Structure 1
Amino acid sequence: MKRVIQTLAALALGGAIIGASIVGFGLYNVSAGEGHFPGVRWLFHTTFQQSVRLRAPGPEERPDDITHPDRVALGALHFKSACAFCHALPGQSQSATARAMEPPPPHITDAIPGWEAPELFWIIKEGVKMTGMPHWPAPGRGDEIWSVVAYLTALPDAEAQIALTGEGRGRARCAQCHGEAGKSRNSYIPRLDLLTPGQIAEALRQYRGGQRASGIMQEAAAQLSDSQIAALAQKYGSPKAPQRQADPAPEAESSGARLAQHGSGDVPACTACHGPGRRADAPIAPLLAGQSQAYLEVQLKLWREGQRGGGERAKVMRKAAQDLNDDDIEALAAWFSGLAAE
């Protein structure tokens, strides 16, 4: 028994010395041009697969609206802007640079088979070490990640891809998401024509600086200059939003209308700042009337969970939303979205 222990100890010491030599003297060639030793690629890929399957969320966390066309379209546009450089789009070939990576990123049509939606969510959220696959840049924005998963699980053919994102490579244009003149028809994307130029400019600066978390908008705003932000804000914003907030609210008896207009013991009246019938003296808050229900629900949940930042108003909204339950949020979003947008 003693000899066995001595043998095992000697093997362990020998292995440690070999490992230290490989690391300390740089004996392992890390050149991407050389590739891995035989068997190493299999070892890494198998480790990757098993790690994802162990840690992926359960199927119950998959949202019910994962197949919604608006969610698919939002994911497609972001994928074109941020992911297609490595993985390409359906019907397109990968760039020479992407193919020269080690390991090479799989073409998007080859990357999806074999993975379930929760596993794709985990990969996009967490990224993968030593592959060039980054983690999602905005913590707490699972709603955005699920939109990318929605696109991947409904991966279209080349013709459908063009219908979703337009022809060619490169970043999606602002209007492809937010609509011409800012009048987005996608229920997961805000209408910019309901915001003032100042509100749009402030949001873009916060996305650019990382004070406001969004993996989609941080990517879109990262390289915008101050002059570009000012031009975009003037192009898409409307100076008439504050005037509309002063209009009287229509009569309604729904739970959303009562909560929005009168609040509760723990929740202040939303309309005091956002209108209609606005009466607060604080800086003009965004106009909510006419924004989509899905978008408003997401934003209220982000406020409630402390995941949305951006200036002094963030403190006010986090406090206002912290006592809202899911039914309250649904009712508020339904009432505001049902108000006339024009």
Structure 2
Amino acid sequence: MKHVIATLAGLAVLGAIAGLAVVFFGLFDTSARRGHWAITDWAMHTTFENAVKWRAPAASEVPPDLDDPALIELGARHYASACVTCHATPGRDADATIAAMVPHPPQIQQAVKPWQPQHLHWIVDQGVKMTGMPAWPAEGRKDEVWAVVAFLNAVRDGMTAEDYTALTQTGEQGYCASCHGPDGTSRAPRLDILSPDYIAASLAAYRSGARASGIMQHAASKLPATADARLASAMADLPAPPRPAVTGDADAGAVLADQGAGEVPSCLACHGPQNRNPLIPSLDGQGQSYLAAQLRLWRDGHRGGAARAPLMAQAAQQLTDDQIAALAAYFAMR
């Protein structure tokens, strides 16, 4: 037994020496031109597949509205700005520089083919080590990740190059207006009802990370801070978009907004017609899906970024899902 232990100890020492030699003498060839051995590729990819399937959310957590055109459009527009460089577009391959990466980022139609929505959510949210695939920029914003998953699901279901172009083209009013303007997506907030001061403060909060949003942190990072005031004024002057039909119990929302309930205070005390503070947003006519999503973020502790954020977080803390739905219906209808 002593000889066995001594042999194992000796092998362990030799293994440690060999490992240190690889590290300190550069014996492992890190050249991307040669890539990995086939067995290394197999081991890494198999590990990746099993890690995703083990850690992905349950299929029951997939939202039922992944086929919502507005959600798909929001995800497509973010993809066009943040992801297309590596994964290209439906019907098109990435450029030669990206094709030379090791491992090679798969073309988007190939990338989504093996995965179910819950798996895609984990990949987009968590990223993948040693591949250049980043995690979602805003931890906790799983709702935004589902927008990208909705787009990826549509790609897997047969989105064509023409479909993609129609979803992501930028109109005459520019990049920001493509989501927030009159022809934008109802999943993005209306900006024409907000003050320039509020929009500029929001841009600054996104840029600093004080207000978490993978979509908007990426968008704000593409602009210099000196452009915030000018852009905010332009966005506040956008034409009003068509108002989609409102569903839900707006009457119950009206009572709750006016009177509050239990620990939930009156919404109209701050957001009502008497509001003259440009840093308190107007909610009248804001998109129903967007309002509901923001209220859930406030309630669940994933929203902030302004001086009054603690007040809103406290106000939303006791809201139920039904109350959130009613409030979103009420303000969207006003």
| TM-score, structure 2 as length reference | 0.90
Structure 1 residue 274 and structure 2 residue 274: aligned? no
1:258 alignment partner in structure 2: 255
Q: 1:159 aligns with which of 158, 162, 171?
A: 162
Displacement of 1:6: 4.2
Higher relative contact order (CA 8 A, sep 6+): 2
User: 1:61 and 1:253 mapped to 2: Cα distance?
Assistant: 27
Tell me: CA distance 1:272–1:201, structure 2 relative to 1, closer, same or farther (3 Å).
same
User: What letter matches 2:310 in structure 1?
Assistant: K
Contact 2:195–2:278 under 8 Å retained in 1: no
Contact 1:196 1:238 in 2 (8 A): no
Q: What is aligned with 1:126? A: 126
CA RMSD of aligned residues (A): 2.1
Please, which of 285, 290, 293 is the counterpart of residue 295 of structure 1? 290
Please list, as runs of the form range in 1=range in 2, the aligned pairs for 1:297-336 lying within 5 A after superposition. 297-336=292-331
Determine the C-alpha separation between the residues in 2 that align with 1:312 and 1:25.
53
Q: Cα gap change, 1:253/1:39 in structure 2, threshold over 3 Å: closer, same or farther? A: closer
Q: Secondary structure at the match of 2:254?
A: helix
Matching residue of 1:195: 194
Q: Give me the whole-angstrom Cα distance separating, in 1, the residues matched to 2:297 and 2:250.
A: 27
2:245 paired residue number:
none
TM-aligned CA deviation for residue 322 of structure 1: 0.6
Contact 1:208 1:223 in 2 (8 A): no
Aligned to 2:67: 67
What residue number does 1:205 align with? 204
Relative distance call for 1:185 and 1:336 in structure 2 (3 A) is farther
Preserved contact between residue 184 and residue 190 of structure 1 (Cα < 8 Å): no
Aligned-partner Cα distance in 2 for 1:82–1:261? 41
Higher mean displacement: 68-77 or 93-102: 93-102
Q: Distance in 2 between matches of 1:177 and 1:67?
A: 18
- Matched letter for residue 287 of structure 1: S
Aligned pair in 2 of structure 1 residues 200, 184: CA closer, same or farther (>3 Å)? farther
Percent identity for Structure 1 against Structure 2: 51
Q: Find the residue that maps to 1:217 and give its secondary structure.
A: helix
Alignment of 1:68-147 (within 5 A): 68-147=68-147
CA deviation profile, 1:185-207 (whole Å, cap 9, x unmatched)? 52211011111111111111111
8 Å CA contact 1:208–1:222 kept in 2: the answer is yes
Q: Deviations over 1:99-135 (max 9, x none)?
A: 1211111111110111111111111111111100000
Q: Tell me if the contact between 2:197 and 2:278 (Cα under 8 Å) persists in the aligned partners.
A: no
Q: Is the 8 A contact 1:304 1:318 kept in 2?
A: yes
Residue 234 of structure 1: aligned partner: 233
User: Structure 1 residues 308, 103: closer, same or farther in 2, change over 3 A?
Assistant: same
Q: TM-score, normalised by structure 1?
A: 0.88
Distance 1:177 1:58, change over 3 A: same
Structure 2 distance, partners of 1:318, 1:330, is 17
Paired AA for residue 55 in structure 1: R
Given the superposition, is the C-alpha separation of residues 18 and 221 from structure 1 closer, same or farther in structure 2, using an over 3 Å criterion? same
- Aligned partners of 1:195 and 1:238 also within 8 Å: no
